[in-house]
Amino acid sequence: MAISVLMADMGRIFPAAESVAMSADPDPDPDPMPLPPPEPDLEACCGNGCDPCIFDLHDLAKDDYRRALKAWRERHPDAA
């Protein structure tokens, strides 16, 4: 009983997800161009030889990005 009351109160406090999404962008691109992963800060590496290191993970993320970008360009041949 208490959970349903709490959920009802939250519905009054927070807007519905649909209204937030609709107000943010009326016509979102269903297939946006992939973005490269952010470059990690040099200071973020602890220097202890972690396996995997954050730079190894970034390299893997860049590989995924390149594959996704290649596939996106094949789907959008007219894009720059």
Residue 80 lies in a domain: no
Residue 20 lies in a domain: yes
Percentage of the chain surpassing pLDDT 70?
66
Query: Is residue 24 domain-resident?
Result: yes
Give residue 61's pLDDT band: very low, low, confident or very high (50, 70, 90).
Answer: very high
pLDDT at 55: 95
Q: Determine the pLDDT at residue 79.
A: 84
In a domain, 28, yes or no: yes
pLDDT mean over 59-79: 96
Give the pLDDT band (50/70/90) at residue 39: very high
Rounded Cα–Cα distance for residues 55 and 39 (Å): 9
Angstrom distance (rounded) from CA 80 to CA 37? 20
Range of the domain at 15: 2-75
Number of domains in the chain: 1
Q: Does the CA dihedral 14-19-23-24 come out positive or negative?
A: positive
Q: Cis link prior to 52 (omega < 30° from 0)?
A: yes
In a domain, 18, yes or no: yes
